């Protein structure tokens, strides 16, 4: 991948900024976001963004389909469109349905947040679902060069696993957070791990919570199963 390739980040929130920081040494990065402007990266409109070689969608899920429809007519043959949403079934379906056949598609989910990547992205994991085309191999090579660990999966497998991994972690963390006074003197090793998990997800945005708890089709069944299991154990005990 030569350094002249142009990458557009659509949606310049916390994650968009993280992407920009790590990719700008290697690609010509521009930003498209009417609300969050970059201080030093070119700001472009959706039509120009769509004309880039790689288009990364980092917008909230609620705007996802609208943005896809807006960029679709302007995407060039061979362009790579990627998303970074925390769920994969729904964005993957939308991209495959709305984007023209001549566009390549990769669905991804970085399994880390701007917070945990403060000291760098090397060693972090990224769920990786190549959906259309072969250019994903070159993008994968760049991301691996940056130290990321790519975990090949499918949107369906991703959402099934994340219903437990993210869905239940958040449900448990939020429940403990609401009820328990923080104990710092009398603790066990296992409780400290639990408290660490709670602290890690405490700052997650409402948008992320909605995705994790609602937009994942497997989240509600996983939650119901956990609650039923816990209620049974908690009542019988």
Question: In the range 79-138, which residues lie near its own copies by CB under 8 A?
Answer: 111-112, 116, 125, 127
Question: In the range 209-228, which residues lie near its own copies by CB under 8 A?
Answer: 209, 213-214, 222-227
DSSP-based three-state secondary structure for 52: coil
Taking CB under 8 A as the rule, does residue 41 contact its own copies?
Answer: no
| String of contacts with its own copies for each residue 178-207, x by CB under 8 A | xxxx-x-xxxxxxx-xx-xx--xx------
Least distance (Å) between residue 189 CB and its own copies? 5
Place of tokens 């007519």: 73
DSSP-based three-state secondary structure for 69: helix
Nearer to its own copies, 18 or 135 (CB): 18
Interface with its own copies (CB under 8 A), residue total 55
* Start-to-end CA span in the chain (Å): 59
Q: How far apart are CA 158 and CA 28, in angstroms?
A: 30
Q: How far is CA 148 from the centre of its chain?
A: 14
| String of contacts with its own copies for each residue 137-176, x by CB under 8 A | --------------x-x---xx--xx-xxx-xx-xxxxxx
- Nearest Cα to 81, choosing from 7, 145, 27, 12? 7
Least distance (Å) between residue 98 CB and its own copies? 26
Q: How far apart are CA 121 and CA 126, in angstroms?
A: 10
Under a CB-based contact definition with an 8 Å cutoff, are residues 106 and 130 in contact? yes
Helix axes 155-162, 89-98, angle to 10 degrees: 150
- Applying CB under 8 A, the residues found at the interface with its own copies are 111-112, 116, 125, 127, 151, 153, 157-158, 161-162, 164-166, 168-169, 171-176, 178-181, 183, 185-191, 193-194, 196-197, 200-201, 209, 213-214, 222-227, 229-231, 233-234, 237
């Amino acid at each position: 991948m030569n350094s002249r390739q142009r990458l557009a980040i659509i949606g310049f929130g916390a994650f968009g900024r993280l992407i920009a920081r790590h990719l700008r040494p290697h690609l010509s990065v521009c930003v498209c976001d009417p609300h969050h402007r970059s201080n030093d990266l070119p700001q472009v409109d959706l039509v120009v963004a769509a004309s880039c070689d790689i288009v990364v969608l980092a917008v909230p899920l609620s705007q996802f389909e609208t943005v896809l429809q807006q960029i679709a007519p302007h995407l060039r043959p061979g362009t790579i469109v990627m998303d970074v949403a925390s769920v994969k079934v729904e964005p993957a379906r939308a991209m495959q349905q709305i984007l023209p056949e001549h566009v390549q598609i990769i669905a991804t989910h970085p399994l880390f947040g701007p917070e945990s990547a403060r000291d760098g992205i090397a060693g972090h994991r990224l769920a990786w679902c190549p959906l259309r085309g072969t250019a994903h191999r070159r993008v994968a090579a760049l991301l691996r060069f940056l130290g990321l660990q790519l975990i090949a999966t499918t949107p369906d497998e991703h959402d099934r696993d994340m219903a437990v991994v993210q869905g239940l972690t958040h449900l448990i963390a939020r429940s403990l957070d609401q009820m328990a006074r923080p104990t710092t003197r009398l603790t066990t090793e296992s409780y400290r791990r639990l408290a660490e998990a709670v602290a890690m997800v405490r700052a997650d945005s409402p948008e992320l919570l909605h995705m994790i708890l609602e937009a994942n089709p497997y989240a509600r069944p996983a939650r119901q199963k956990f609650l039923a299991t816990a209620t049974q154990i908690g009542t019988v005990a």
